[in-house]
Structure 1
Amino acid sequence: MKKIKLLQQISSEGVVAVLRGETPEEVVEMAEQAIEGGIKVIEVTMTVPFALRAIEDLAKRYSSTTQDASKFAIIGVGTALDPETARAAILSGAEFVVGPSLNPATVTLCNRYRVPVMPGCMTIADIQAALELGVDIVKLFPGNLYSPAMIKAIKGPLPQANIMPTGGVSLSNLGEWIKAGAVAVGIGSDLTSDAVKTGDYSLVAKKAAQYIEAYRAAKQ
């Protein structure tokens, strides 16, 4: 049941912060600011040096099951290329797994432990294969190669597919993606780039609040 609830929570929250940084401490700071701004689904990518430290730290601070709204967040791992990486992240506290491509062994591992897995897909063939493996949400990646109209094209032959575009999603086009049928969106560098340039990480919270506002407006 926990997997089902997590999928419902991710879909309800609608915005996933995809975080990359130079150190685990930097990523934890980004995550805390994103959560403060209202983005409650955090994806820590494995390209971060010692990324598991950041996942473990955040998993201890936040929970998807808490009744305390200030401590509620869903912490997951991104750029999981193989099942070994996925399992290590799960043991460190990751509650969902995201990959840049479809790796059947990673999907099998996540299904074994009832952990939501979102592999990156680019083609109808990829998405069909993911569905056949039991994937519940497919990451359309890289999203900047497509327009929101791609979701309608996918849902023609595959109306049952839940699509989460990641890469190229911005404040200016988030509404279009949601209205096109995206179950959620992944936000990467646009969320954190200003903070990294200036060293002012409060800018992450401000940008996160703007994304949440745009998401809620699109859902209405």
Structure 2
Amino acid sequence: MSADTLARYEAALAELPLVAILRGITPQEVDGVAEVLFEAGWRVLEVPLNSPQPLDSIARLAQRMGERLVVGAGTVLDVASVADVAAAGGQLVLSPNFNPAVVTATRAAGMVSVPGVQTATECFAALEAGAGRCAAGAGVGLLLTRACWIAAPA
């Protein structure tokens, strides 16, 4: 990942430490929704790849609001999808699982990888593989959540 992309992501999370998940949004809806979210203080937006025409939505967001928001894709499960997100202008890849190949490809494309994890061991393996952050799954203790939100070593 590029240092600039990670710095933008960190700065966005410092303003509001949440990611807006735009599940099911269409390209026709995304501009208006993103503008309202930005005005409300949101700085990181995720369009899940199982949404209608997600790459078109990501491309629209990146083109129209990429300077003001960190835009990325969620439900990224494979390396081919990472390439698609990068081509659409995404800056962030969120995955429900830790797949080392996805993390490596995301980092190589200059984007931030945030895989989902369930254990501290999995979190630290993801960080070592190059993830910028980890997302702890529901029901995982506070200790793991705090550990997973530690920045990866530079």
Q: Same fold (TM over 0.5)?
A: yes
Matches of residues 99-114 of structure 1 in structure 2 within 5 Å?
Answer: 99-114=95-110
Q: Per-residue deviation at 1:154?
A: 5.8
| Residue number in structure 2 paired with 1:59 | 62
User: Which of 117, 124, 127 in structure 1 is aligned with 2:123?
Assistant: 127
| Residue number in structure 2 paired with 1:19 | 22
User: Using the alignment, how far apart are the partners of 1:44 and 1:53 within structure 2?
Assistant: 10
User: Which of 75, 81, 92 in structure 1 is aligned with 2:77?
Assistant: 81
Deviates more, 1:38-47 or 1:6-15: 6-15
User: Using the alignment, how far apart are the partners of 1:153 and 1:52 within structure 2?
Assistant: 32
Instruction: Tell me: CA distance 1:27–1:63, structure 2 relative to 1, closer, same or farther (3 Å).
Output: closer
Q: Which SS does the other structure have where 1:98 is aligned?
A: strand
Q: Per-residue deviation at 1:12?
A: 1.2
Instruction: Tell me: CA distance 1:153–1:117, structure 2 relative to 1, closer, same or farther (3 Å).
Output: closer
Q: Which has the higher contact order (CA 8 A, sep 6+)?
A: 1
> Larger radius of gyration, structure 1 or 2?
1
Structure 2: which amino acid aligns with 1:116?
A: V
Whether 1:151 aligns to 2:154 is no
Instruction: Tell me: CA distance 1:56–1:123, structure 2 relative to 1, closer, same or farther (3 Å).
Output: same
Q: Per-residue deviation at 1:128?
A: 2.3
Q: Per-residue deviation at 1:83?
A: 1.2
Gaps of 5+ in 2: none
Q: Per-residue deviation at 1:60?
A: 1.1
Which contiguous aligned blocks of 4+ residues in structure 1 show a shift greater than 6 angstroms?
none
Q: Is the CA contact (8 Å cut-off) linking 1:21 and 1:27 kept in structure 2?
A: no
Equivalent residues, number = 148
Per-residue displacement from partner, 1:87-120 (whole Å, max 9, x unpaired)?
1111101111101111111101012122110001
| Structure-2-length-normalised TM-score | 0.84
User: Using the alignment, how far apart are the partners of 1:132 and 1:48 within structure 2?
Assistant: 30
User: Using the alignment, how far apart are the partners of 1:86 and 1:95 within structure 2?
Assistant: 10
| Structure-1-length-normalised TM-score | 0.61
User: Using the alignment, how far apart are the partners of 1:19 and 1:130 within structure 2?
Assistant: 25
